[in-house]
Amino acid sequence: MDHSLSDEQVAIATMVRDLMTNEVGPRTQEIDEQGVFPTWVADLFRKHDLFAVTVPEDYGGIDGRLLTHCLVVEQVGRVCASCSMILGAQSLGAGPITLFGSADQKERWLTRLATGEVLVAFGLTEPNAGSDAKAMTTRAVPTDGGWRLNGRKSFITHANVADVIIVFAKVKADGADQITAFLVETDRAGFTVDKIEHKMGLRGSPTCSFVLEDVWIPQANMLGELGQGLEIMLRGLHRGRIGSAAQSVGLGQGALDIAAAYATQREQFGRPLARMQAVQTIVGQMATEIEAARQLVYSAACRYDARAADIERFSSMAKLFASDATMRVTGDAVQIMGGYGYMVEYGVERMMRDAKVFQIFEGANQIQQITVARDVFAKA
């Protein structure tokens, strides 16, 4: 699939690269140490219209292609993976509303997602329903011209700052449980964020549990149709996985850039590390893996934009390959920099901590392997 970039796409990626390097780069350690949502970064993104990239043009967005979103989050992730989650989570939420929202829902939510006035979260995981999402126990019951929701969601990115959350819940209909998606505003009575996790990495991107206690929403807040929740979830994750893979590519590239610059300066045994062949073999491998991941991500994004039939396979492959590559690359970056790499000051230890979760969320990598294998066998 052709994924040559337009002049506009190159221009926006360059603008984001400069913005991140100059404005956010000097404060990445502070973001990691404070461990809270960096509101000032979200404001910076609003000022530079970056939220608009996650939304179609008809609703105030810019460009609307997933490939463009990938280019942007790659450049954000190169400097600050936590910051890349701000746009990543927004894209994960914007996707289902774009694909399944009613005209009113699109007008109401997408236009404000495009400006960043509204932040959205994706509420799927529960304490006992992770990889096995169908095991969810959150329920929606029809009442008073709308729905009453009860349940608990866990590990939800930005639930504490989001204005609206796409909540997946079971509805009893025709004698069966039918998973259905709802748009739940976080200022509704009965909605409470009851835990913000303390975690290994991505510390500037809050991960929360929330409780729904008799939360009432109108019928107009149902997203898609009754029982369409699994399809909405899967199609949302196809998009989300490609975006998170792009974030991984940026993160890996950022670690490689820091380690390569360091290796040209640091001398041992009378010469720079960069002149030692043992170091060159590691760096050559790192650069190759990141470039291979990038090409796979761009290809998957173009397939998504073209609504290609093989999107599930490609989104899983991109997410699997990019996150594994970045886990290796960030670890190698720390190794190349020796004791200095282990110190907070140089940034690569943070990048290694940040990299791990990309192998876990949006479907753990084992689930991606199984998804790809199923597709292979279906065609065998």
Ligand X SMILES: Cc1cc2nc3c(=O)[nH]c(=O)nc-3n(C[C@H](O)[C@H](O)[C@H](O)COP(=O)(O)OP(=O)(O)OC[C@H]3O[C@@H](n4cnc5c(N)ncnc54)[C@H](O)[C@@H]3O)c2cc1C
Q: Which residues are catalytic?
A: 362
Shortest CB 373 distance to ligand X, Å: 11
Considering only the stretches 117-125, 263-271, 295-303, 343-351, report the one whose residues sit in contact with ligand X under the rule CB under 6 A. Answer: 117-125
Does residue 363 bind ligand X (CB under 6 A)? yes
Query: Mask of contacts with ligand X, 199-218, x by CB under 6 A?
Result: ---x----x-----------
Nearer to ligand X, 156 or 249 (CB): 156
Does residue 36 bind ligand X (CB under 6 A)? no
Does residue 181 bind ligand X (CB under 6 A)? no
Q: Return the DSSP state at 140.
A: E
CA angle 209, 213, 216 (to 5 degrees): 115
Q: Return the DSSP state at 365.
A: H
Shortest CB 33 distance to ligand X, Å: 17
Does residue 262 bind ligand X (CB under 6 A)? no
Member of 122, 304, 314, 358 binding ligand X (CB under 6 A): 122
Member of 141, 360, 373, 376 binding ligand X (CB under 6 A): 360
Does residue 35 bind ligand X (CB under 6 A)? no
Shortest CB 195 distance to ligand X, Å: 13
- Measured distance CA(246)–CA(6) in Å, rounded: 18
Count other C-beta atoms under 10 Å from residue 303's C-beta.
Answer: 24
Does residue 314 bind ligand X (CB under 6 A)? no
93 token code pair:
């939420």
The helix (run of H) or strand (run of E) holding residue 370 is helix 365-379
- DSSP-assigned beta bridge partners for residue 271: 268
Residue the block writes with tokens 């073209």: 306
- DSSP-assigned beta bridge partners for residue 354: none
First-to-last alpha carbon distance for the chain, in angstroms, is 22
- Measured distance CA(194)–CA(223) in Å, rounded: 25
- 3-class secondary structure, 287: helix
Nearer to ligand X, 341 or 363 (CB): 363
Nearer to ligand X, 75 or 207 (CB): 207
Torsions phi, psi of 187, nearest 5? -95, 10
**Rounded (10°) angle between helices 277-305 and 229-265:** 150
Binding to ligand X in span 149-178, by CB under 6 A:
155-157
Member of 8, 366, 374, 376 binding ligand X (CB under 6 A): 366
Member of 357, 358, 371, 372 binding ligand X (CB under 6 A): 357
In the complex, the residues that contact ligand X under the rule CB under 6 A are 121-125, 130-131, 155-157, 202, 207, 357, 360-364, 366-367, 370
